[in-house]
Structure formats: structure tokens, C-alpha cells
Amino acid sequence: MSVSVSRRNFLGLAGALGTIGAVAACSSPGGGGSNPGSTATGGGATTGLLPTYQAFDGFPADLTSSNPDVSPGYFSYPASPTAVTDGAPATSGQAIRALTFTYDPVAPEMGSNALWQNLNEALGAELDLEYTPSADYSARFATTIAGNDLPDLVAIQGQHQQMPAMLAAKFTDLTEHLSGDAVLDYPNLAALPTPSWLGSVYDGKIWGVPVPRSLIGNVLYTRADILEEHGLSLQPESLEEFIEMAEALTDDRAGRWAFGQTPFSQMLEVNGIANSWSVDDAGTFTFNGTLPGYEQALADAVALDEAGVVHPDGNAAQNTQRNEWMMAGITAFQIGGYAGWPKFYIQGANIDGFRLTGMLSPAREAGGTMVRTAGNPSSHFSAIAKQDDPERLLEILRVLDWLAAPFGSTEYITRRFGVEGETFDFDGADPVLNSAGVNQATLPVRYITENSPVIWESQNEQAVRDQFDHQETGLQYTIPNPTVGLYSETAVSNAASAQQALTATQGEILLGNQPVTDWGPAVEAYMSAVGTTIKGEYEAAWAELNG
């Protein structure tokens, strides 16, 4: 299939595929427990700095793994939930202002939101929550930082220019309160996975409390029921089998295709490429766009487009449209973040035989080595503005500890579901939001901080098993992102133009408008402009962390 390009096509493809060489510290292989995470935290300056991990085991899971990175699975909410905190964490009577963002519709205001009112009562203070859509948060954050009236809590999303200096000037160094065993005064925070803390560390100090995420990262969501109807394996063993499967699922005359977008990230993994950067034992960094496997992945992706197995409008479509195609059976796969897995069960509730799994990228040849890019161990972190009163700081930390109360607790129900009979009801042991609760629960409390990730799908044991199996299998192939916990001022401040040029070339190649051989010169230009400098800054930061 030939592919024509337009400005609209290019922007859609760039958004679907992501940006090569992105700045953020994206992931780590580290477990929830004793392993601090990436190679950048294997010793040196971070030894003893990160909070001591202390798992909460008061609510035993139905599915557990020997791999501490795999989230525990629950078939139902614990039948006898109990409180894990000692009363209301706030005692001063002062409101706590928090600034964060949301991906959901705006929740009803406090005066007409029973969930919010009940939460305030449980906290012992009014949670004055200010938030904007995620797409607008960068501008709101910049305006807030430039002003002199910071909320008590501010969500720090991504990295920013002069990040260490900005944190030191505006926010509280929490190292004394959270480093090592000090965190044990806040047992719910101590139960957050160790890797999730890495993104809040700058200049050897802890600057905030994370919002943890599973390390599984992006998922190639798979309509397992459709594949089973075609007699296809849910996990191909080679690129050849992957292509044959895609061709078997495609019938353009009938309006069916395998993919809703070009699976470029999967082609990278097929060719052994995980993450934007890699590092060897000596601390030498490599930009993975310079590796031969990257150019081969581009060629493989172009070949898939030419084979006609990708929806012809897919790379220009919005993600919501591609989700709808998969749910309607127009496509069999969709690429998305792991956090979005539960929404598909809601959308598929009335589809007869609906089953969703996640497919791993196969090795290029059967029996070869599989790799997987790690997910971000945290969405972001919440920093505490400088406080004049030491007791006020401790109160805010207690509130954060309460908000991180684990799955299975009564605090979790209060935070997520609200008031029984008003915003939720019990279905057996499971709390279930009613129509009022669905609207009120969009209050983005979970973007301040939340509990360590778990797998739970009410009344859907198969869904829990499928997600658990995907993590159990996929995380063993995960490659750590060595830039976790590292900071490059050049990457944050001066790389935008060079990055845009590189991304544009990648997009044009994937759309069939430039040959794959154009990639090499584009990468050389990127490295000359900023890449070599970024490499040096990462290497210096890595050396400092690893002693």
C-alpha cells in the first residue's frame, strides 16, 4: 500500500509514535522492594538516600509473583477492609491547597460533591484542589512558579529548565523526612515502589512524593477473542509469524485491518531497541537512534504499511478513534498506556465473548532474545512549597501518607469511591460507583499521590489473570532506562529544534515520503547539534550517582 502525506497525517503519526530521544526519565527495572532500580542507582550517592521500602501485607493478594515489579492481583476487594491510619492526619484546621492536573472531565464543585466533602472530613482539613486538563498544565505550572503564591502541594510533571535550582528556590527539601528509615514514620509512603522515587531526586535530595505507576509501560492491546476466532496464537514467536498474523487479520474489502496505527515501537523492540538511550558498565551512553537496529525498525515499519495491514486512516486519527476501531472489531490491536487497560472492560461489557490481552513484541527470529521498553515508574511527583512552620510541613506529609493508603483499606474506599449509598454501593465485597459517584470520582486526588499499583477488576477474574500474566511475562524482558534519576540541562533547555527536525524525518520515513537511508544523516545532524552534549551530561550525572 502506498502512503500519501499531509500536514495532518504527519502530526497524527508523530503523536502516535512518540518522540525519539525524549528527555524525561522514563523508567526503571527496579522492584517494589530492595532493588533501587536502574543502573544509575546501583550505588554511589543514592545508597541510603532513597526511602526504605516496607511492603504493606495486610491484605493478601490472590495472585503474587516472585518478581517484585509485578503488581499483585485481587479477584475482589478484601471482605473486611480496615483503616491503616490513626484518625485524621490534619489537626491544625488549615486548608491544604494543591495544584495538579487531570485527564478526566471536571468534577462537581465541593459544595455539590459528597465524595470531596467526605474526603475533607476524613483528612481533618479542607483539600482545596486546583487543577487543569493535562494539556494545559505546563502553562499553568509556569505561571504558578513565576508567581509568589504557591499552593502547599504542586504537581511536578516532566523536567524543566534549571530544574534543580527551581526546586531549591521554591520547594522543601524532604530528604530529612523521607530518606532511608525516616520514611518509616509514614508507612504508606514507605510502601511505594522504590523506582517511583527516582524522578523526585535532584542534586542528591528528595523533592517530592511520587505518583507510582506499573513498570509494564505501553501495551499492544489485543482483541484475544478475535485472534482466537481466526485460530491465531496470542503470542507470535518471530517477526515472520507476527506479519503472517497481521495479514490473516486484514481484509480491506471487508473494512478490517490488524493495526489502527503503525506499530513502530514494536518494530524497535523486535530489533533489540528499548528506550532512547543505553549505557554500558563503564557508564558510556549511546543514543539508540544511532544503532543499526533503529534503521532496520524503520524499514520493518514501512514494510508493514506497504503490506496494507494498517488502517489507511490510522496514523492521522485520534487515539479515541483507534480505540473505537478496536472495540468495534475493525482492528484487532491498539497501542496505549497500561493505565488505560480497565477502560476497555467498560467499553466491551456488551460485546459477546470479549477478551482483552496484551501482546509482547516477538524476537526477530524464533528463539531469539526478546526486549521490552520499561514503563515510567511514576507519573510525576508532588512537591511541597517552602513552609515557615515545621509542624505544618509534618501535617502535609501525614496527609500525603493518608492519600497513599493501600488497596484494601477503608481510606482507599473513601478516596476512590466516597460515601456508601450516595456515591457507591457494594457488590459483594466490591465497592462500585453509582451514577453520581462516576461524576464525583473524577476529582483528581490520585494525581497528588496514590497507593502502590495493584490489579483489580471487579467481578472479572479473567481480566485480573490476563493483566497479571502480561506483567509476569513482559517484565522479565524489560530493559531499564538508564536516564532515570539523571538530568541534562541541554536536553531540557536547548534540544527542541534539533529534536523536532529528527522527529520530522522519522515521520516522513514512516509515511513513505523519504527513504530509510535519510535516517543516518538526520541522526548525525542531531548528535552534532545537541546529542553529543546530552550524552556527556548523562555520563557525568551517571558517574556522580555511581561513585
Decide: 401 and 187 in contact? Cβ < 8 Å. Answer: yes
The pLDDT score that the predictor gives to residue 22 is 37
Q: Which amino acid is at 431?
A: P
pTM of structure = 0.89
Domains (ranges, CATH) in the chain?
A: 7-23+218-373+488-546 (3.40.190.10), 79-215+377-459 (3.40.190.10)
The pLDDT score that the predictor gives to residue 42 is 33
The pLDDT score that the predictor gives to residue 35 is 31
Tally Cβ neighbours within 10 Å of residue 26.
20
Residue 483, phi then psi, degrees to nearest 5: -85, -5
The residue with cell 532496520 is 296
| 315 class by beta-carbon count within 10 Å (0-12 exposed, 13-18 middle, 19+ buried) | buried
What gap in Å lies between CA 425 and CA 86, rounded to an integer? 25
SS3 sequence of 85-126: CCCCCCCCCCCEEEEEEECCCCCCCHHHCHHHHHHHHHHCCC
Q: Provide the residue-wise pLDDT of the chain in tens; the chain has 547 residues.
A: 333 223 223 233 333 333 343 333 333 333 343 333 333 333 334 567 999 999 998 999 999 999 999 999 999 999 999 999 999 999 999 999 999 999 999 999 999 999 999 999 999 999 999 999 999 999 999 999 999 889 999 999 999 999 999 999 999 999 999 999 999 999 999 999 999 999 999 999 999 999 999 999 899 999 999 999 999 999 999 999 999 999 999 999 999 999 999 999 999 999 999 999 999 999 999 999 999 999 999 999 999 999 999 999 988 888 889 999 999 999 999 999 998 899 999 899 999 999 999 999 999 999 999 999 998 899 999 999 999 999 999 999 999 999 999 999 999 999 999 999 999 999 999 999 999 999 999 999 999 999 999 999 999 999 999 999 999 999 999 998 889 889 999 999 999 999 999 999 999 999 999 999 999 999 999 999 999 999 999 999 999 877 7
| 288 class by beta-carbon count within 10 Å (0-12 exposed, 13-18 middle, 19+ buried) | buried
Residue 149, phi then psi, degrees to nearest 5: -120, 75
Query: What letter would DSSP give residue 221?
Result: E
End-to-end CA distance of the chain: 53
What is the number of alpha carbons within 13 Å of residue 421 lying toward its C-beta? 0
Residue 546 Cα to chain centre, angstroms: 26
**CA-wise closest residue to 326 among 294, 359, 279:** 359
Residues 6+ apart with CB under 8 A from 458: 76, 77, 427, 430, 432
The pLDDT score that the predictor gives to residue 503 is 96
